[in-house]
Amino acid sequence: MAKDGTNRGGRRVRAGDKPQALNDKITKGKAAKVLEVPDLHPESILEVEDLDGAADLFGEDMPSPSDYLSSRQKDGKPLGADQLFIETWRWLKDRGCEKFVNPRLIEAYAQAFTRYIQCEEAISLYGLLGKHPTTGGAITSPFVQMSQSFQKQANLLWYEIFDIVKQNCTTSFVSNPQEDIMEALLSKRKGR
């Protein structure tokens, strides 16, 4: 500890070996710990007789996306991020990792990626160049900068989600929902 009371020296942040994916650990025969949802009431065991007169309860397979993911935009069309939320949730559920990912993280990813798509559509509609408001000269379209910003944000959020899947998924997987989304976008543009 330094004279001013701050800790100095020691291990650098993010130094050392990177953690291996759970799937890699299992295939190499190394010790691996699978995260599981903790049992909140391990001592309470229900018997069939205890359920007389109990209400019929239905589990929720997927949390419903927030309303802002499907809100109407200025052009009158819905945002459409709710569909991306549902696709991503199903992709996580197929791998058994939906309980490890916060739904707000999926919502943030869905919104950022949908905003990226909106910017790309605006670039296709208005072009790469714009008109400077005071000089009237050609400038880069502001949609280009916004597109890059939303794409970066979406990728960072996706890497966070994908890292959770990589660390906790015990089955091998090949498909990536981002590829499916890009395929849908490209086929949508061909249909015009």
Q: Is residue 188 part of a domain?
A: no
Q: Is residue 192 part of a domain?
A: no
- Going by C-alpha positions, the residue among 163, 61, 73, 72 that lies closest to residue 109 is 163
Model pTM above 0.75: no
Render pLDDT for 27-44 as a digit per residue (tens, 0 to 9). Answer: 888 888 776 766 655 666
The two structure tokens encoding residue 148: 């890059």
The two structure tokens encoding residue 97: 């990792």
pLDDT at 84: 93
- Going by C-alpha positions, the residue among 89, 87, 81, 86 that lies closest to residue 108 is 81
Segment holding 15, helix H or strand E: none
* pLDDT surpassing 70 at residue 115: yes
User: What are φ and ψ of residue 174, in 5° steps?
Assistant: -120, -40
- Going by C-alpha positions, the residue among 113, 107, 95 that lies closest to residue 168 is 95
Q: Is residue 190 part of a domain?
A: no
Q: Which range of residues forms the domain containing residue 97? A: 73-158
Q: Is residue 110 part of a domain?
A: yes
DSSP assignment letter at 72: B
Q: Is residue 148 part of a domain?
A: yes
Total number of domains constituting the chain: 1
Q: Is residue 129 part of a domain?
A: yes
Q: Is residue 124 part of a domain?
A: yes
Q: Is residue 48 part of a domain?
A: no
* pLDDT surpassing 70 at residue 7: yes
Amino acid 7 reads N
Q: How far apart are CA 69 and CA 84, in angstroms?
A: 9
User: What are φ and ψ of residue 131, in 5° steps?
Assistant: -110, 130
Render pLDDT for 134-189 as a digit per residue (tens, 0 to 9). Answer: 998 998 889 999 999 999 999 999 999 999 988 887 666 566 656 666 666 666 65
Render pLDDT for 53-85 as a digit per residue (tens, 0 to 9). Answer: 666 555 457 788 888 888 888 888 888 899 999
